[in-house]
Structures are given as C-alpha cells and as structure tokens.
C-alpha cells in the first residue's frame, strides 16, 4: 500500500487489484489510527468484495473518508449500495484536496 501524506491529509493507495477482507483489514486498521483528513485512491484497484464495502461503512461512521479515481465497475457498485451516503466520492485527487466536484448519486423519477 502506498501512503501519500502532508500536514493536513493522508491518502492511502492500495496496490493490490482486489480489495478483499485481508486488504480491507490492513487498510482500515491504518485509517483508524490516522488523525488527519483521509482519502483512498482506487486507481490501481479493479474489484472489491462485500467485506471492503461493509468495513468502509463501519469506519465511515467514525471517520470522514474521501474516495477518488474510482473504476467504472466499482463506481456502479458504490451507486447501487449508496456508498455516497457515508463516504465522499470525488473524480480525482485534486478534487479531494480542493473539496470540489463530489460525485453524488441522484435518484430522479418522473411524476405523472
């Protein structure tokens, strides 16, 4: 796992292409010990398991977490599971740093 940090924020970038239970436990144990603003860069990740999503939801109750560089398959999964309710989703690292262009799941319906 790659960790990029400065005085205000810490970005965790998993290097494994699948976020399974083992990788999730490793990642979130580091995140729970962090006091700065936290983000997860999913640029190298191709797939994630339900263990990652459930762990993410649990940790997000106590920590503010941003996620960016989300692959399209994972983004569809995040939208289906409404991850944007507990975690902030961004397009890129710059958007996270500037706190702009958040991705929000909008559910529109036609009213007759």
Residue 55: what pLDDT?
A: 93
Q: What is residue 105's predicted lDDT score, i.e. its pLDDT?
A: 66
List the domain boundaries for the chain: 2-103
Is domain 2-103 annotated with CATH 3.30.750.24? yes
Interval 20-43 mean pLDDT: 93
The CA-to-CA distance between both ends of the chain, in Å, stands at 51
Q: What is the pLDDT of residue 80?
A: 87
57-110 pLDDT, tens digit per residue, is 999 998 999 999 999 999 989 888 888 889 999 999 999 999 888 887 666 555
Instruction: Say whether 75 sits in a helix, a strand or coil.
Output: helix
Asked if 3 contacts 31 with a C-beta cutoff of 8 angstroms, the reply is: no
């Amino acid at each position: 796992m790659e960790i990029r940090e400065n005085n205000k924020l810490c970005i965790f970038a998993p290097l494994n292409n699948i976020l399974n239970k083992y990788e999730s436990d490793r990642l979130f144990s580091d995140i729970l010990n962090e006091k700065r603003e936290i983000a997860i860069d999913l640029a190298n990740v191709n797939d994630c398991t339900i263990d990652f999503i459930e762990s993410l939801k649990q940790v997000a109750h106590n920590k503010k977490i941003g996620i960016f560089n989300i692959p399209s398959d994972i983004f569809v999964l995040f939208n289906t599971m409404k991850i944007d309710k507990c975690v902030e989703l961004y397009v890129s690292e710059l958007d996270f740093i500037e706190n702009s262009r958040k991705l929000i799941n909008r559910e529109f319906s036609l009213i007759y």
